[in-house]
Structure 1
């Protein structure tokens, strides 16, 4: 059961969370977006999916705080984080606002998304607004363009989809994802503001790393418990590894198992032939 998250929450004097109003199996209670700073001009981290209710809540917060947006920073390209850009940028409270996102390495991106000019983020780029000092850190793995933000004043991290408030995240490249988790762990943040779900603490990063390594071990144990020449499809492994997980989440689980297997392939622990996996006989 997921925790209840109000549509709008003043978390600290410099952090207001506005929920994306797009709950679902993959988005939990919805996408968390964050209004940062304490002055008349502030920074928005992520824009939700484009749900009208979210836009109305954001507009209400900006009006009650009597503030406008100076920058919008996007954690990564997924629609539930970038979908609200056009509505926000067409509003009166975003005049002269700049939108920023890290460039994807897996495709040729346009400079415009939904007719909105996108400025390209750089690793270690810093943003300053009254009350908040932010630093961009490139953390690929969940997606090639994924970034997190650090907030100096609170020793906090806005983790996007690298770390969720509940459950675990999916990823495109497990090797890069684990490296990114270690980057976050090295920051020793006191607070983690996730892309979905409730606030977390630094200990969650260690749990995420342990979970991925334990899942890798479980995959090898399952494969090794059958004859060495047994070949496996991803779906067959998911049926065993995720038998206690609701079936509507098996597709996402299958993606993660596949990423684990590709890492194990690089580690020379399994082989792949015609979409079927087999443990190396010399292990």
Structure 2
């Protein structure tokens, strides 16, 4: 575990779906040590992401889901680092295929363990925001990377194609709120939160719906 660290790079671009386009800022997370690392979500700006990676070996790009704002830097990262393995849950391939012209190197399956810098990331399949949405648990550090499944203040958006509000709430209740309350939630957009901060609000989410 010595030397393992989590770094954040905020990138800017657009998100497009269902005929609409919005300006967004994304959180890109880098997990590793001084020699190797993994990137969680290749959003918008490959140059900024690769600058943060530096001369370390980039082993994986792990895609929490297939919306274009989370994968639109994949091609440029692959071009710069041809040995990188880009992984995404198979249920989001219909989103991936709209953005990236070639298949991913592999899937992200529920329970899959991805070693990184002497620790491991465990895949939690959390559908709802999209069918293949996943979170990545770094249990040794008390951290979960939630993509767009859980934010500070509630679930990710479900008003677009391939999304479903009851499904995302079930995913959060069953897969995330069962984690220790002190677990830090590193989100795909915006500020961090904790499991303990969000857990009391489940009924409010259900009452609010979408």
TM norm structure 1: 0.62
Residue 122 of structure 2 corresponds to residue 135 of structure 1: yes
Query: What do residues 131-160 of structure 1 show as CA deviations (whole Å, max 9, x unaligned)?
Result: 431000100011101000000221111000
In structure 2, the CA distance between the partners of 1:175 and 1:121, relative to structure 1 (3 Å rule), is: same
Instruction: Work out the CA distance in 2 between the residues paired with 1:131 and 1:18.
Output: 22
Within-5 A mapping of 1:85-100 = 85-91=74-80, 94-100=81-87
Please point out which of 210, 224, 230 is paired with 2:203.
Answer: 210
Q: Deviation at 1:56? A: 2.2
2:127/2:133 contact within 8 Å kept: yes
Question: Which has the larger displacement, 112-121 or 76-85?
Answer: 112-121
Within-5 A mapping of 1:190-229 = 190-216=183-209
In the other structure, the counterpart of 1:19 is 10
Please point out which of 32, 36, 39 is paired with 1:41.
Answer: 36
Which has the larger share of helix?
1
Unaligned runs of 5+ in 2: 16-20
2:68/2:96 contact within 8 Å kept: no
Instruction: Work out the CA distance in 2 between the residues paired with 1:105 and 1:130.
Output: 27
Q: Deviation at 1:27? A: 6.5
Residue 144 of structure 2 corresponds to residue 153 of structure 1: no
Larger radius of gyration: 1
SS of match in other structure, 1:119: coil
SS of match in other structure, 1:21: strand
2:92/2:133 contact within 8 Å kept: no
After TM superposition, the runs of 4+ consecutive aligned structure 1 residues lying more than 6 A away are: 23-27
SS of match in other structure, 1:212: helix
The RMSD of aligned alpha carbons is 2.7
Which has the larger share of strand?
2
Please point out which of 164, 167, 178 is paired with 1:176.
Answer: 167
Residue 78 of structure 2 corresponds to residue 78 of structure 1: no
1:161/1:196 contact within 8 Å kept: yes
Q: Deviation at 1:115? A: 2.7
Residue 107 of structure 2 corresponds to residue 120 of structure 1: yes
1:132/1:153 contact within 8 Å kept: yes
2:66/2:92 contact within 8 Å kept: no
Query: What do residues 81-113 of structure 1 show as CA deviations (whole Å, max 9, x unaligned)?
Result: 01110011101xx23111100011795976x93
If asked which structure has higher relative contact order (CA below 8 Å, sep 6+), I would say 2
Residue 75 of structure 2 corresponds to residue 69 of structure 1: no
In the other structure, the counterpart of 1:104 is 91
